[in-house]
Copies of this chain bind each other. A is one copy, B any other.
Amino acid sequence: MSLIFRRGIASMASLKKASKVVCIGRNYADHVKELNNQRPKQPFFFLKPPSSILAPGEGPVIRPRGVDLHYEVELALIIGKQVKNLEASDEQGALDAIDSYALSIDMTARNAQNEAKKKGLPWDIAKGFDTFLPISEIIPKSAIPDPHNVEIYLSVNNVIQQSDSTELMLFQIPRMLSDISKVMTLEKGDIVITGTPKGVGPVVPGDVMRAGLKVNGKEIEAAKIEVA
Contact = CB atoms under 8 A, between A and B. Distances in A.
Interface of A: 17, 19-20, 22, 25, 38, 44-47, 49-52, 64, 84, 116-125, 128-130, 183-187
Contacts of A119: 38
A123 B117 CA distance: 11
Contacts of A183: 64, 125, 128-130
Contacts of A116: 120
Contacts of A122: 25, 44-47, 122-124
A45 to B, nearest CB: 7
Contacts of A17: 19
Contacts of A124: 45-47, 122-124
B49 A20 contact: yes
Counted per complex, copies of this chain come to 2
A27 to B, nearest CB: 14
20 contacts: A19-B49, A22-B49, A44-B122, A45-B122, A45-B124, A45-B125, A46-B124, A47-B47, A47-B122, A49-B184, A64-B183, A84-B130, A118-B120, A120-B120, A122-B122, A122-B123, A122-B124, A123-B124, A128-B183, A128-B184
B19 A51 contact: yes
A130 B185 contact: yes
Ordered nearest first, which 7 A-B pairs have the shortest CB separation?
A: A117-B120, A46-B122, A122-B123, A46-B124, A20-B49, A47-B47, A51-B185
Nearest to A119: B38
Given A51-B187, A123-B123, 14 more contacts: A19-B19, A19-B51, A25-B122, A38-B119, A44-B125, A47-B124, A51-B185, A84-B130, A116-B120, A118-B120, A124-B124, A125-B183, A128-B184, A130-B184
